[in-house]
Chains A and B, each alone.
Chain A
């Protein structure tokens, strides 16, 4: 079955440092979505990428979709304590509408 892996599983940075999480799918994805889950909270949609090689920015967050549409990355510039949480990528099940396979997640801890 379709698998979506993320690395690293956990990262601890000091405030101001950059952070990157990588997402790799075993199959080609029609699109990829990113979600953030704060500690004790629920996942919240951040962004969707659709095109091969697409890059989108949201303030300090940069999202990229690979040329082969099998991988993606999220880069945070100059992390802040508000960035703390777990970041998940998710891609649609092959050939099936709107069922998402979620990645294993990367937990980010930011300290002063």
Chain B
């Protein structure tokens, strides 16, 4: 089955620790995205990548980092600089980077702070 796989489903971060969320897709999509979802709020864009080895900041990139070394993979690192990391993180992909592309989402990772 083609799709987007996020792991782990639940993740706990200790104070001062960096954690990495995994996102893999086998849809052969060029573009990938990371969104953050807080209760009662919409999805906010953290980072996006339209092509391998290239990525851009979204609206709330501070305290996060990404890489795009392979087309299939777009891992997100939540650094210790992110002071309020507790949220539901959603990875998405789209076939291309055109303005009318629909997004396909993974099942998400719930990150909590210990």
Residues in A lying within 8 Å of B, measured CB to CB: 1, 4, 6, 9, 30-31, 33, 35, 41-45, 48, 50, 88, 90, 92, 96-105
Contacts and interface: CB of A to CB of B under 8 A. Distances in A.
B21 to A, nearest CB: 14
A41 B31 CA distance: 22
Given A43-B103, A104-B41, 13 more contacts: A4-B42, A9-B40, A42-B90, A45-B104, A48-B100, A88-B43, A90-B103, A96-B99, A98-B31, A98-B98, A98-B99, A104-B42, A105-B42
Contacts of B40: 9, 104
A66 B40 CA distance: 25
Interface residues of B, number: 28
Chain A CB within 10 A, most for which of B35, B50, B101, B102: B102
B105 interface: yes
A46 to B, nearest CB: 9
B94 A98 contact: yes
B107 A48 contact: no
Given A31-B100, A42-B106, A48-B100, A99 B48 contact: yes
A43 to B, nearest CB: 5
Nearest to A43: B105
